[in-house]
Amino acid sequence: MPNTSLPSIAILGGTGKEGPGLALRWASVGYTILIGSRRLEKAQATAAGLNSMLNSNTIQAMENGPAARMADICVLTVVQGAHQAALESLKDDLQGKILVDATARVDFRDPRPPAPPSAGRIAQNILGPGVRVVAAFQNAPAHSLKKNLGGSLNTDVLVCADDLPAADQIIQLAQAAGMRAFYAGGLDNAIVVEGLTSILLSLNQRYGVKTASIGITGVEK
């Protein structure tokens, strides 16, 4: 059963690879999860699959707009080509919320690092000051998220935001999902985190693996 003292989370564009993995991890530790999609039937199919994996029926399906309005925290996990249009269509629904932007605008066929502004900065510019934008989870490995539910993952999440209390909430969310998380500066810094995807793809290709990852050291006091 969801723990109603925890914030509820809408995964907007939650029918791809990244969104369902995050949804599973949070649902498995008690968060109320709403899967959002432009099409209700797609959201329903994804939610049904996730509920089946969890042997529950707690994950709900909605269209993106109603999901955004109902949730305390929204996580945007659309593909890069849908990023701007999704934000523009959800601008009204997102007012007053925290919007976590997980978009890394790297084209896998031409994986050069993107130029500023960061996806998070673009989101903030579209949504205006009434939405607290946090950039995070751009590199969370989709294939790992579904493993060891309720346990920990060997993944570090770099959280960028101009709003420190909002960043702290998302650091807590990442930790609840079993990932280490660090505050890595303002929204403009998120362009580096997006670009790390290019580095990881190059490492995977050069070293013949699929598991290259970047970890933070030296911040223990």
**Residues in touch with a copy of itself (CB under 8 A):** 111-113, 115-116, 154, 158, 182-186, 188-189, 191-193, 195-196, 198-199, 201-204, 206-209, 211-221
CB of 82 to a copy of itself, least distance (A): 24
Tell me how far, at minimum, the Cβ of 115 lies from a copy of itself, in Å: 5
Instruction: Give helix 190-207 / helix 119-127 axis angle, nearest 10°.
Output: 150
Q: Which residue's CB is nearer to a copy of itself, number 39 or number 143?
A: 143
Q: Which two tokens stand for residue 54?
A: 């969890």
Residue among 68 and 191 whose Cβ is closer to a copy of itself: 191
In the complex with a copy of itself, which residue's Cβ is closer, 37 or 198? Answer: 198
CA distances from 58 to 8, 176, 178 (A): 12, 18, 20
Question: What is the smallest separation between the CB atom of 209 and a copy of itself, expressed in angstroms?
Answer: 6
Q: Which is nearest to 138 in space by CA: 174, 165, 163?
A: 174
Length of the chain: 221
Least distance (Å) from a copy of itself to the CB of residue 180?
12
When the beta carbons of 92 and 207 are compared against a copy of itself, the nearer one is 207
Q: Which is nearer to a copy of itself, 89 or 211 (CB)?
A: 211
Q: How far apart are CA 156 and CA 214, in angstroms?
A: 7
- Order of all β-strands in the sheet with 98-101: 60-63, 33-37, 9-12, 73-76, 98-101, 132-135, 156-161, 180-183
- The least distance separating a copy of itself from the CB of residue 3, rounded to whole angstroms, comes to 29
